[in-house]
Structure formats: C-alpha cells, structure tokens
Amino acid sequence: MNIPRAVAMWNLGIGLAAALLGAAALARAQGSVPLEVGQHGYADSIFVNGKIVSMEDQGYNNNPGRIYEAMAVKGGRIIALNTTAYIRTLAGPSTQVYDLGGMTVIPGLIDTHNHNFGGQVGPTMGIRAPNNGIQVRVEAGRDMEATRLRVENAIRDSLTKVNPGEWISVGIGENEQEGISANRIFSWVVRGELEPKDRLTRLAPNNPVIVQQASRATMN
C-alpha cells in the first residue's frame, strides 16, 4: 500500500471519529438541560416538598385539578409544576429554594366583589371614575319601557349641560306608587336590558354615561 495514502486515510478516520464524538458530547450536553431552562433560563425561585393545587379544572365541580409536589417561578410566572426531584433540576446557583414542608399552595384569589371607582381596580382596567360632569336621578316608570324613556330624556337634557368627555350619571329610584321596586329595577340593569352599552353610545357618543341602580350599572 502507498504509505502517504494510508497515512492520509488514517488521519481522515481520526478526524471523522473526533467529529462524531464531539457531536455526541454536544447532544448529551444539550439533552442534560431541562426544556424549561432552555426556554426561560434557571428559575428565580422554586417551591418544593409541598402540595401545589393547580385548579386547572375550570368546570363547575369539586375537582381542584392535579396536585403537584413542587413548582418553579421565573419573572413572576410559573414555568413548571412537577415532582420535587424534577423541579430541583431547574434551579441554578442564584435560585431561591423554599421548602414547603408539606404545606398547601393555592392560586391567588381574585376578589370578584370589587368597587371599580375609589380604588385601584378601575384605573388598572382603564375605567375613569365619574368624578366630573353631572349627576341626575329619575324615578322608575310603570315598566321597563317607561323607565327607559325617563332615563334617556334625562341623558338628552344632561347633554346640554356638560362638555364633551364629561360624565353623565343617572341613578334610578323605585316607583312605589306603581309597584316598581328597587329589586325589579336592579334585575333590569343586571341583565343589561334597560340601557345596553351600544344604545348609550348612540345617545351620547362624546360623553361617558353610567346608568345605575344601587351597586349595578351599565356604562357606554
């Protein structure tokens, strides 16, 4: 055999073997990084040895969803729910580790009874408080149609007294003489039948309007 040719083939074989070994090592290294770490980086904090209630079943039942041992958090968001052993693989040198010692963790409760005005809920949702403009009160009519007529007449009259962008607030009182109780008016407003949003917008396209009975209201 030609010696130079044999040496060249030997070197080529060594080179190919080294490349294959390098590729295998890279694949192993990449495979050792958990998916969540590859996507988000190491967790800011992990919570282990607990009962993490997922509340992932959104049906109307008593099922709280799956319960996990641990969770990982990154940037204020949960990035993984799993066993304690797995979640520990998502921790880096700077990750804070909280041992729950068997305690239960549930999602944050959102208070569905909120007051949109006079706090932080309204501004957060982009709702401006009706702190300017005009406030009027009307008595309910003998039925929903008669009540709507009174409300809309009050809105039309108010439009002549406010500037564009100012609020028109209309409160509706009960009509004892004709048997229209506050509860009945309340039900009209709750169902959105008395003054739907698009109807208010047509009446007052340049002004925010709120039609209210007690704690229920319709706004455009």
What pLDDT, in 10s, does the model give residues 22-53?
Answer: 433 443 444 578 899 999 999 999 999 999 99
36, 38, 43, 49 alpha-carbon torsion, rounded to 10°: 40
Q: Considering the entire predicted model, what is its pTM?
A: 0.47
Residue 71 forms beta bridges with which residues? 47, 81
Q: Would you tell me how many other CB atoms lie within 10 Å of the CB of residue 36?
A: 19
Pairing of strands 91-99, 43-48: parallel
For residue 59, the model assigns a pLDDT of: 65
Listed as ranges, residues in the chain with pLDDT below 50 are: 1, 6-30
Render the burial of 37-59: b for 16+ CB within 10 Å, e for the rest. beebebbbebbbebebebeeeee
For residue 25, the model assigns a pLDDT of: 45
For residue 125, the model assigns a pLDDT of: 65
Pairing of strands 51-53, 104-105: parallel
